[in-house]
Amino acid sequence: MSLDPLLAVSGLETHFPVRAGLMRRQVGSVRAVDGVSFSIGRQRTLGLVGESGCGKTTVGRSILRLVEPTGGRVHFAGTDVRATHGTALAALRRRMQIVFQDPYGSLNPRMTIQAILEEGLVIHRLGTAPERLERVRRALERTGLTAAALERYPHEFSGGQRQRIAIARALVLEPEFLVLDEPVSALDVSIQAQVVNLLVELREQLGLTYLFISHDLSVVEYLSDEVAVMYLGRVVEHATAAALYRAPLHPYTLALFSAVPRIDPAHRRRRLVLTGDVPSPARPPAGCRFHPRCPLAERVCREVDPPATAAGGHLVHCHVAARELERAGGDADSAAAVVADMMASTPTATLAGGGGS
């Protein structure tokens, strides 16, 4: 197996124009994604987390060019995705598929399940009719459904079954890489675990690589090898899932993760409630983008964009975390404990109800 990452994203930018006036002149831009970098090894899963509106969904769509990036580089299996066009791009897209959040909205209600699953094969002109049917059956069975579903319509299925059909639609093209955009968020809690387990099985059986986008931090922890945390169009911290959930370094990660229930009392944290609104991505603050909401903000935070600091398996953009990492001689766990203590002693730290926070 190649040691090169399957997907390498560098400085990715996706800005949307803001237009105003009669002539619809561009008066600014919304920086939905503003310099995001990461890579994903083959058969690995990167979780991408952050509050609603942080740009994580736009990252997934930009990689597949469902929205057109405005800057940066995306390499998939060594191919420059942004420089690929026409039939070469279509061939690349077969290898990179997406599963959307809403299993109700993503399946055409007027098409049978067979037609929905076959559509991609027809578009890509793959196989004869009997061969296509065989691939459709195989994909459906991999997701735990039977051929009895083929002649039926989406409304005849439950939410969980529809999401299985959406996954089968992605699998039918035999991709190597899936963007999973909040794939279980719209499902009942009782069904979520079944779909998550299915995704784990498929990853093992088919050797798939995932970008798993979610705001559900518990599911992300279960499914991901590494996790990147986004805030206002940027990745603020990236680490292995184990390191990030054990010892988050960035104040935003700390606040976000403080709401995750922990059974082990040794890992319970004070609930950190962030005040203030997320600034507009059309006018991101100078310096550290998190500074208007960060209880640890210092003068330097308002003036200087924090560069990346790498230590102990973490990549973190924070002046205070970088200083504590240096003091701790690069020991990320010790530095994280100091940052956590600083955060816990701020007025925004509260003891949440119940024992889990």
Residues in contact with ligand SF4 by CB under 6 A are 250-251, 288, 290-291, 294, 296-298, 301, 306, 318-320
- Of residues 57 and 348, the one with the C-beta less far from ligand SF4: 348
CB of 2 vs ligand SF4, minimal distance in Å: 36
- Of residues 140 and 318, the one with the C-beta less far from ligand SF4: 318
CB of 274 vs ligand SF4, minimal distance in Å: 11
CA terminus-to-terminus distance, the chain: 41
CB of 348 vs ligand SF4, minimal distance in Å: 12
72: left (phi over 0), alpha (psi -120 to 50) or beta: left
Core vs surface per residue 251-287: b (16+ CB within 10 A) or e = bbbbbbbbebebeeeeeebbbbebeeebeebeebbeb
Give the Å distances, CA to CA, from 58 to 15, 96, 114, 233: 10, 15, 30, 9
CB of 225 vs ligand SF4, minimal distance in Å: 25
- Of residues 6 and 254, the one with the C-beta less far from ligand SF4: 254
- Of residues 80 and 303, the one with the C-beta less far from ligand SF4: 303
Give 86's contacts (C-beta < 8 A, 6+ positions apart): none
CB of 336 vs ligand SF4, minimal distance in Å: 13
- Of residues 180 and 247, the one with the C-beta less far from ligand SF4: 247
User: Hey, is 245 helix, strand or coil?
Assistant: helix
Distance CA 97, CA 179 (A): 6
Distance CA 41, CA 116 (A): 31
Distance CA 340, CA 255 (A): 9
- Of residues 167 and 318, the one with the C-beta less far from ligand SF4: 318
CB of 276 vs ligand SF4, minimal distance in Å: 12
Using alpha carbons only, give the angle 103, 105, 111 rounded to the nearest 5 degrees.
90
Pairing of strands 177-181, 209-213: parallel
| Lookup: tokens for 264 | 């082990």
CB of 344 vs ligand SF4, minimal distance in Å: 15
- Of residues 281 and 306, the one with the C-beta less far from ligand SF4: 306
